[in-house]
Copies of this chain bind each other. A is one copy, B any other.
Amino acid sequence: MSQRQIYFDLLGELEKATGKETESLFGRIQEYFGIRHQSYMNISLSSGRQNALDMLNTFPEDLVQHYIDNDLHLVDPIAQAALTGITPVDWQAYINNKNAQKLFAIASTFGVSATGMTIPLLCRGNQAAYFAIDVGVAVSEWPQYRRAHIGEMQVLATYLHAARQEMAQDLPDADLTAREAEVLKWTAAGKSYWEISMILGISERTVRFFMTNARKKLGVVTNSQAVAQAVLRGMIPL
């Protein structure tokens, strides 16, 4: 069976797949590309911190644990680029980035190379997802390899992602009351408690009360953080 035929079969199965079936398909993606390590990650942006909703992973367990324990995703410029950008992120493009170099150094001790890419995936709602692959070919071959396979990779990742959706139930929405949302909106607009109290015709203490409730419901500690979450979650009329 030709390589291309294997790809078509894999694509056909991924289009139909749901839930648990995807785990074996995840393995077959790895086989098909001859990838050393790959990781599918679906993240909730709802709570204060980024919170993993779903993960499929073949990276070394110790490396993943190290990454998680040290909150390296906050320092990792590639992860940041994947979570804020649109196009696949070529790891080699970060070879001169100091933070990336540190991470590459750590990763290499676990046998992870610097030739790979991270493909951002389309999410609906307040989530972000990516598919990261460590291809591990020689640096000289990488540009050619990447061009040749980026299409197949993006398509398979997209269908894998779609099939995994049911595994990634997000946290329930923090349902703010009308007043809480209203006060939050004015805070996001740069108004102080006193100003909001004037706008809404209530006491400053009450404004504070609503904001405190909103912070608690959003699981955050400062108004700035609450605003960040509210905007992310589309609770603020733009």
Q: Which residues of A contact B (CB under 8 A)?
A: 8, 11-12, 15, 45-50, 80, 83-88, 120-124, 126, 147, 150-152, 154-155, 158-159, 161-162, 165, 170, 187-190, 192, 220-228, 231-232, 234, 236-238
Contact = CB atoms under 8 A, between A and B. Distances in A.
Contact of A123 (B49, B86, B162, B231): B86
A226 to B, nearest CB: 8
A70 to B, nearest CB: 13
Contacts of A86: 121-124, 158, 161-162, 165
Contacts of A50: 238
Contacts of A152: 151
The 8 closest A-B pairs by CB, nearest first: A151-B151, A190-B225, A188-B228, A80-B237, A46-B238, A231-B231, A122-B122, A86-B162
Nearest to A144: B8
Contacts of A221: 190
Nearest to A47: B238
B122 A222 contact: no
Nearest to A237: B80
Given A165-B86, A224-B224, A155 B151 contact: yes
A126 B238 contact: yes
20 contacts: A47-B237, A47-B238, A48-B189, A49-B189, A50-B238, A83-B238, A84-B124, A84-B236, A85-B162, A86-B122, A86-B158, A87-B162, A88-B158, A120-B122, A126-B234, A187-B222, A188-B227, A188-B228, A224-B224, A227-B228
Nearest to A189: B225
Contacts of A87: 15, 158-159, 162
Nearest to A228: B188
Contacts of A45: 238
A71 to B, nearest CB: 10
Contacts of A161: 86
B154 A158 contact: yes
B225 A188 contact: yes
Given A48-B190, A84-B234, 5 more contacts: A84-B236, A150-B155, A151-B155, A188-B228, A224-B227
A120 B88 CA distance: 15
